[in-house]
Homo-oligomer: A and B are copies of this chain.
Amino acid sequence: MEQDKLAALARVRLFEGLPKAQLATLAEIAQLKRVAAGQILFEAGQPGTHFYAVVSGKVRIYRSAPSGKEQVLHVFGAGEAFAEVPVFEGKTYPASAQTLDDSVLLTIPRKGFVEVLRRDPELALGVMALLSARLRGFVGQIAQLSLKEVPERLAGYLLLLRAAQHTDELVLDLPKGQIAAYLGTIPETLSRAFKKLSDQGLIETSGPSVRLLDPEGLAALAEAVR
């Protein structure tokens, strides 16, 4: 069990490369949890007592409007930490979190973590880099949402996937409805955007797989975003 925990911690990007002693300290305060798909981990407005890391599975972070429409802010997969924001601030969760698959998560209580940070400045620097990277991502997302139309945002998203999967034969990592929410739109509009890119000869789609026929063309469309 403690082995599992240590191994899990070591695979969290936030803690990668930490000396063993540090990991052991963290292991003392961290908890390993198995969570079924569809479980809500926390909801917007609740006090932030713990932050999380994904060991396996997938978690989505979202905000809902009274109308019931939901905006997906992020999807976290294995190795990623999330919800550390309220931990530093001692405030409430700004968004809700729900598992998309059966998942294994690490939960780390706020109090213990602050202690560890105080003792290890290098860890603090690592955390700052992580936050900076996340910030950079949000800047890109805000620019996308407000400066671009849906087909252009989709082009940007596909190029992102291309960079992640190292191939032009993509397999969509999320159901299309989720992708729509991530791009700040709805399935119908996303569907039409896919069609538009196909009509322009930029991509070919069949089900959840997409072939990029003209990455340069896509890049031109998505230009100046991220």
Q: Which residues of A contact B (CB under 8 A)?
A: 63-67, 69, 71, 73, 84-89, 91, 94-95, 114, 117-122, 124-125, 127-129, 131-136, 138-143, 145-148, 184, 223-224
Contacts and interface: CB of A to CB of B under 8 A. Distances in A.
Given A71-B146, A142-B145, A145-B146, A131 B131 contact: yes
Contact of A139 (B95, B119, B131): B95
Contacts of A84: 132
A179 to B, nearest CB: 14
Contacts of A184: 145-146
A128 B73 contact: no
Contact of A63 (B95, B132, B135, B143): B143
A193 to B, nearest CB: 16
B223 A66 contact: yes
> Top 4 closest A-B pairs, CB basis?
A65-B147, A146-B184, A124-B124, A131-B131
A114 B132 CA distance: 14
Contacts of A122: 118
Q: Give the most central of A87, A120, A127: most B CB within 10 Å.
A: A127
Contacts of A148: 65
Contacts of A146: 71, 145, 184
Contact of A128 (B71, B120, B124): B124
Contact of A138 (B89, B120, B133, B138): B138
Contacts of A117: 121, 124-125, 128
Contacts of A136: 85, 89, 91, 94
Q: Give the most central of A89, A132, A223: most B CB within 10 Å.
A: A132
Given A124-B121, A147-B63, A85 B132 contact: yes
